[in-house]
Each structure stands twice: as structure tokens, then as C-alpha cells.
Structure 1
Amino acid sequence: MSRLLVLISLLPLVTACQLGNAGVGSLPTAEPSQPTTKNTTAAPPIAQAGSRTARRTLIQVSDLPKPYASNSVSRSPRVIPQPSNARLQAPAGFKVNLFAQGLSRPRWLLSGPNGDIFLAESYDNRIRLLRDTNGDGVVDQNTVFAQGLRQPLGMAISPDNRFFYIANTDAVVRYPYQLGQSRLQGQAQTITRLPGGGYNQHWTRNLIFSPDGSKLFVSVGSQGNAAEEPLPRASIQVMNPDGSNRQTYASGLRNPVGLGFNPSTGKLFTTVNERDQLGDDLVPDYLTSVQPGGFYGWPYSYLGANPDPRLPRRAELERKAIVPDVLFQAHSAALGLTFYGGEQFPAEYRGDAFVAFRGSWNRSEGTGYKVVRVAFNAQGQPEGGYEDFLTGWLVNPSVPSVWGRPVGLTVSSDGALLVTDEPGGKIWRVTYVP
């Protein structure tokens, strides 16, 4: 089997201990069997000196095995309670504390300009509003912001703060909004409809405004694993803020989920979950800049002109397929993406990307279940490879057994990195302590 190039950089770590509707209509006014307000508390973190090294990985297309070099397996993770000795690990100088707990399969996060944190509980069809009113790094107000939705994921506030946008699985809707509003009211306006559902977790729809606020970008995953499908499947769509003039911005992206604009170049980047059933190390997920009109291969080829043996050959499309910027270990399930634009972390982190790996379900040894850092150079380009940033959820790769699966990321107004843990019902907060 071909090799994967793995670079190990000796970066000391710190161990941080846990203590601790679519469619036009009115929002429902009652939420059955769910309290509207929770007070969520957690004890402060304690940092311990760690001796582990940071794992930096560089995967190149030339190092990858051929299709079917290993068997395709189905091995979903076994989620266990957090072992008494299990801790999340971050680089030296960083600390981790429990920001919120008792949540229902928390997925996606949005940080508002006034410090409000919005959380999509997609499986419960609602969005929560989280506030830390005393600034101690722990949520003390947790209320229902919107409900009666349809598997919501992506959220955005319009640049003029007049509308709150929600990406349901089958439509993008918006509501009238004022900054600081504690609950959405009134009529939802459907600005564009989308094909709902999809293969495995491909029901997710994300959205983001362009830096100048003139365009709205929406990601749509494929219906299946590897098959010909009509647009807008496996694409990123672009439109005006009211949904008009919708076009395909880029295609051949099997399941684009994370969306983010590089703060120095203004380029759009996305995380993509690549195809399954070609073996343990095929096909790598990736982070890539998104070129207008770009084609990224799916379903006919992967990572450029590497044909998928299950599909008819399309030589012209294979030749035009763009090679992504940064390859991740296959089956990592790269989801959440955020660029660090805060000032709380050391200066060398500014402009870098963080990506959440939800973790594998179809690899002989479990992989993922962590947050990684992708460093960018002064020109706003990825330096190459990625390194572990927040690890510790994966207990035994051979099962695999895990006590958490990170999904969504955001940088809060105070510069902290927030990370959702879906099965754990938690949000973790990472800060730097000089």
C-alpha cells in the first residue's frame, strides 16, 4: 500500500481537565416537553502540564493507495461515557472549559456581533440562544430562539442586522430580526428552495454572506455516495440576499459543509466529505478554496483526475477537476470550519483555519474525533498539512470507542474558540492563557 506522509512536530501540549418551514409561516409559540430556559453551569478548568507531542500530517495525492487496496468496512463508533481519566488536550498555554452542557445533540454555531451565541439543535428542529452575561466563560442563559424548523444547520445574520437566515434541509428562510432579540417572531420568508435530505448525513445545508454582504452562499450535499445527480446537488449556490439570481458557484463537491472566508484574501473556503467504499485511505476529505465556476471532480473523479472506478469515464471532466488545497485523513468527516480572526489567541494563529472532524464510521481503525488547525501563510494560502489542536475524545481506535464527536465551531466575540460535542450534549470553550 502507498504511504501517507506524516510529519510530527514536537509541540508541548497542555491537558485541560473537564470539571465538571421551510415555507412561509409563523413560528410556533409553544415547545412541547422542553423547558424554554436552562441555567447551565460548569466549574472552571484546571490546566496540567502535558508531555504529548502535536501530530502534524501532510497527505499528498501521490502517496495515496489505489482503490480497493483495503476492504471497505462499516464500523460506527461506540459512544461511551467520559472515562474518569479522559481529558481534552490542547497546545501548551491553552485551557479548555465547559461552556454549556445538557444540550440535545448540538450541531452548528453562530456568533452574533453583540456576543450572542446561536446553536442549531438540528434533530430537534430548533435553535437556541446562549448567553454568558457575567463573562465567566460559562453559559448562564439558555433559551429557545426558534423552533418548528426542518433540520436547521447554517445560520447567518444579515450585514445590516435586519434579518436572521436559517438553512433548513429543504429551503433557506429568513425572519425579521433586531440585534439582541431573544426569540424569532412573525412570518418566515422562504428565499430559495433546496432538495432535502441526502446520503447519510448529507441533509445538512450551510450558508454564509460574502464579506461585502452582497451575496449569500449556500452549500448542498449529494443525494448518494457516488452517482450522477443533477444540480444543485454536490454544489455551492450563490444568490442575492433575497434569493434572487441564484446560480451554481462551484460543483463536483460531494458534501460541502463548512464555509468560511479567508480574512486576508476574501476567498471562500469549504470543507468537503469525500466518497466512501473505496478503502481505508480513500478518499481523503479536504479543505479547499472555492473557485467561481470550479469543478472538483465528484462523482467522476477525486482529487483531480483520479477516476472513480464505479463511474463511467468522463475524460473532459476529469481533466478539469481541481485538486483541493489540504487533504485530510480519509473518512475523518470534516465538518465545522472557522477562520480565527480574534485577538485572544497568539498572533501566529490569526488567519488560520480550524476544522472539526466528527469522525469515521467506515474505516477499520477509527479516525477523526478532533479539531485540527490549518496554518495559512502571509499571502493567505495554506502552508501545507494540518496539525492536531483539540484531541482526546477517541479512546480506542480499534473499536472505535469515543466519548464525544466535535461538529460545529465558532469564534466568540471575546476571541474564544467554541466547539460542539454532538453526542455529549456539550459545548467546549478554548482560550489562551499567557
Structure 2
Amino acid sequence: MRLLLSLLLVVLSLPVQAALPLDRLTLPPGFHIAVYADQVPNAREIALGAKGTVFVGSNSAGKVYALTDANGDGVAEKTRVIASGLQLPVGVAFKGGDLYVSAVSRIYVLRDIENHLDDPPKPALVTDKLPTETHHGWKFIAFGPDGKLYVPIGAPCNICDPAPAHGKLIRMNPDGSGWEDVARGIRNTVGFDWQPGSKRLWFTDNGRDLLGDDVPSDELNEITRPGEHFGYPYCHQGDILDPEFGKGHSCKDYVPPVLKLGAHVASLGMRFYEGKQFPASYKGAIIVAEHGSWNRTKKSGYRVMTARLNGSKVVSYEPLITGFEQDESAWGRPADVQPLPDGSLLVSDDLAGVVYRVTYKP
């Protein structure tokens, strides 16, 4: 009897996650959202393995997760921790059976990971030569069509002139060699993807703080040639000179954003949607996770958006998911988006520690 009582007390003492208020979320007609996995603390960037494994990085949790949906019912029945004790391992990128993980100044790789989910290998070091600052030091990473690993190096500050070591996007070979600058004048990008067809790289960038509630805007940018400069810290949102660092500069000398996303919305992960499940109007569109403001009188962001394109021009920017914040109180913060092969869409939420799955059925 005492043993049963002891076991009962242990069970009762375990943390119980409150039911998520998914009924508060609003999506366009025909769209549905459900929980894919709910034990993913600080869920950030998502990457897909060749065998269907969903890999998720984290921020302060210091962990990398592997989610598996073996029976194909749209819910991950198993969540494994495949790496832990890492420094802000936000970024995950899969290539050739291996999972690459960012950890501020380091990139690691877990070899042949999908064949070792239950006995994951020790992360092997790819490079430890990246800057050590943790201010904007977490990194969204991805492999490009050229087979190279793209890695952002954010500004180590709110506003400063960090060139040439910071404020840029670089690429390297999978073994950590052959570093090249791709673009400069970037404050902090935590999401980028390549447009199908043109193969041009598009990225979100977070605007600086402490210029007021409504300026500057976060940006959606397109790189049309290597080495372009997108303005930071001299020019913000393509048309506002910085009060301190803008002196002697002209915004005309820098690449303006394709779209202003709004002030302090904290635009993070973004992907092009090429699936067939969503309506045809979503084909080729960019899905953007807006993490949400922390420094605004009235909150902004806290939603997932759709940017429809005509070539390199954005023709609309409309909500896909809203309702993570009501009455100035947020219970969820979208961090990344990732289409699945069946055309559904995963959305990570680092506040709720959840990955959602969005489907369409009219």
C-alpha cells in the first residue's frame, strides 16, 4: 500500500502541460491545425531527414530533438533527445544522412543520424571558428542548392558597426572549409530559403530596437548577386538612416527590402511552399513565422503569414495563423515553418514547446 501511495505521489508531482487553446487560433477556411508533438521545449528550427524524421533545434533548452511519426497519422508518437548540453543549438540542417547543428561559435554534425536515433552518435565538430558572442549568436542554418552550408553571423548588439566579422551571411563547405561572404549589412537573419526556379536566396531580417514602436520594420529580402549590402547599421527598412551610424551615408547605396514586414514583429523562420495540399494560390508563396514583439507598447507579430509572389514582387501578405496572442497576452510564439512531403506544414512554437501541423481539407 505504501508503495502504491508513493508511486501515486510521484505521478501527481510530475508537471502536467495544460491543454493548448487551439480553439483561439484563426486560419483561413478549410485549414486545420493540430499538435504534432508537445514535448519539445524551446522548439526552434525544423529540418527534415531523408526517412521522414523531423529534427528540431532549441534555444535555452540546449537540446536537439528527433520526432517520428511511424504510423503516418500526422502525430509524432515519439520524441527523442539526440543531443544535449549544447549552447543555443537553434539551427539544424540535414544533408547526406547527417544532421548539422549550430551552437553559437560552433557547428557540429551527427553522422548517419536516422539509423541511430536510439543511440545517437556524439556530435562531431565541423568548425569552432565562428564568433563567440551570444547576442544574436544563435544561428538558423541551411544547405543551399550549391551543396554549401549557409550560416548567418548576426550583429553582436542592438545597433553598432560590427563589420567585417559580423552582420552578414556566409557559406562554407560541409567540412567547414572554404568560407565565403554571401551578403552583408544584415542585422540578424533567423530564416532563409531558396526560391524554386530562380534559386535565389530570400531571407528575413530583424530591425533594430529603440527607435520607437513603429520603426524600423523587419524586412523580407532577396539576394540577386553575391556581396550585396542590405544597409545595417547605416540604413533601416530601405529608407530610414540610422540617427548615429547613418551620418554620411545614403539609403540609395544599399539594397532595399522586397517587403516591410512590420516593426518588431520578430520575423524568424521562412520557407517557400511547393506542396500540393494547400490551395493553388499558396504554390510558390513564402510562409513566414513572426515570433512577436517584446519591446512595443502594443504587441505585434505572434502569427504565421503568407507572402504571395509574382516573380520577385510580393503581391500580398496575409495571415495564415493568428491568435497566439490576445489582449496583450501571448501563449504561443511561432519560430519556424517547414512543409512536409504530403503538403502539410509544421510550425514550431518555442514558448509552448510544441510543434503544430497545419492541414487543408475543404
Q: TM-score, normalised by structure 1?
A: 0.75
Residue 245 of structure 2 corresponds to residue 311 of structure 1: yes
Tell me, which stretches of 5 or more residues in structure 2 are unaligned?
A: 1-16
Q: Is the 8 A contact 1:232 1:248 kept in 2?
A: no
TM-superposed CA distance for 1:348, in Å, is 2.1
Deviation at 1:331, TM superposition (A): 0.3
Measure, in 2, the Cα distance between the counterparts of 1:337 and 1:369: 14
For 2:128 and 2:79, how far apart are their aligned partners in 1?
30
Q: Conserved in 2, the CA contact under 8 Å of 1:326 and 1:384?
A: no
For 1:99 and 1:387, the matched residues in 2 are separated by 24
2:110 and 2:22 mapped to 1: Cα distance?
45
Q: 1:191 pairs with 106, 127, 130, which one?
A: 127
Q: 2:77 aligns with which of 140, 150, 158?
A: 140
Q: Distance in 2 between matches of 1:167 and 1:194?
A: 10
Q: Does structure 2 retain, via aligned residues, the 8 Å contact 1:114–1:180?
A: no
Q: How many Å apart are 1:86 and its aligned residue?
A: 4.7
Partner of 1:223: 156
CA separation of 1:116/1:382 partners in 2, compared to 1, >3 Å: closer, same or farther? farther
Equivalent in 147, 168, 177 of residue 235 of structure 1: 168
Of 59, 84, 89, the residue aligned with 1:122 is 59
> Aligned partners of 1:107 and 1:408: how far apart in 2?
6
Quick one: which of 387, 394, 407 aligns to 2:335?
A: 407
Match of 1:164 among 96, 99, 124: 99
What's 1:111 paired with? Answer: 48
Quote the offset at 1:121 in angstroms.
2.4
Shift of residue 382 of structure 1? 3.5
- Structure 1 position 206, deviation (Å): 1.7
After superposition, the C-alpha distances for 1:300-339 in whole angstroms (9 at most, x for unaligned) are 11133531012252326x4321101111110000001111
Q: Is the 8 A contact 1:137 1:429 kept in 2?
A: yes
Measure the CA separation in 2 of the matches of 1:340 and 1:85. Answer: 23
Root-mean-square deviation over aligned CA pairs: 2.2
Q: Residue in 2 aligned with 1:251? A: 184
CA deviation vs aligned residue, 1:343-371 (integer Å, no higher than 9, x gap) = 22122212111111110111111110000
CA drift of 1:387 comes to 0.6
Name the amino acid aligned to 2:302: Y
Q: Distance in 2 between matches of 1:84 and 1:173?
A: 36
| Deviation, structure 1 residue 191 | 2.9
1:190 partner letter: V
Partners of 1:189 and 1:334 lie apart in 2 by 30
Which SS does the other structure have where 1:368 is aligned?
coil
5 Å-filtered alignment, 1:173-188, equals 173-177=108-112, 179-182=114-117, 183-186=119-122, 188=124
* Higher RCO (Cα < 8 Å, 6 or more apart): 1
The CA distance in 1 between the partners of 2:353 and 2:99, in whole Å, is 24
The CA deviation at 1:208 is: 1.3
Structure 1's 328 and 177: CA in aligned 2 closer, same or farther, altered over 3 A? same
Residue 85 of structure 1 and its aligned partner are, at CA, apart by 8.8
Q: How does 1:381-400 map to 2 (within 5 A)?
A: 381-396=312-327, 400=328
Q: Deviations along 1:133-172, whole A, 9 cap, x unmatched?
A: 11111110111122232211111122x33x3211111122
- After superposition, residues 11-410 of structure 1 pair within 5 angstroms as 86-158=23-95, 160-161=96-97, 163-177=98-112, 179-182=114-117, 183-186=119-122, 188-191=124-127, 193-199=129-135, 202-213=136-147, 215-290=148-223, 291-304=225-238, 306-311=240-245, 313-315=247-249, 318-377=251-310, 379=311, 381-396=312-327, 400-410=328-338
CA distance in 1 between counterparts of 2:212 and 2:354 reads 32
Find the residue that maps to 2:43 and give its secondary structure.
Answer: coil
| Alpha-carbon distance between aligned partners in 1 of 2:292 and 2:19, rounded to the nearest angstrom | 17
Distance, in Å, in 2 between the alignment partners of 1:83 and 1:246 is 43
Assess if the C-alpha contact under 8 Å between 2:235 and 2:246 holds in 1.
no
8 A Cα contact 1:192 1:243, kept in partner: no
What letter corresponds to residue 240 of structure 2 in structure 1? Answer: N
Q: Which residue of the partner structure matches residue 28 of structure 1?
A: none
* Whole-Å separation in 1 of the counterparts to 2:62 and 2:134: 17
Amino acid at match of 1:157: F
2: CA distance, partners of 1:312 / 1:265: 33
What letter corresponds to residue 348 of structure 1 in structure 2?
Answer: S
Displacement after TM superposition at 1:231 (Å): 2.7
User: Is the 2:104–2:134 Cα contact (8 Å) retained in structure 1?
Assistant: no
**Length-normalised TM-score, structure 2:** 0.89
SS state of the match for residue 145, structure 2?
Answer: coil
Aligned to 2:348: 420
State the Cα distance separating 1:209 from its structure 2 match.
1.2
Structure 1 segments unaligned to the other structure (5+ residues):
1-41, 43-80
1:176 maps to a residue whose letter is R
- The CA distance in 2 between the partners of 1:408 and 1:129, in whole Å, is 16
Relative distance call for 1:84 and 1:422 in structure 2 (3 A) is closer
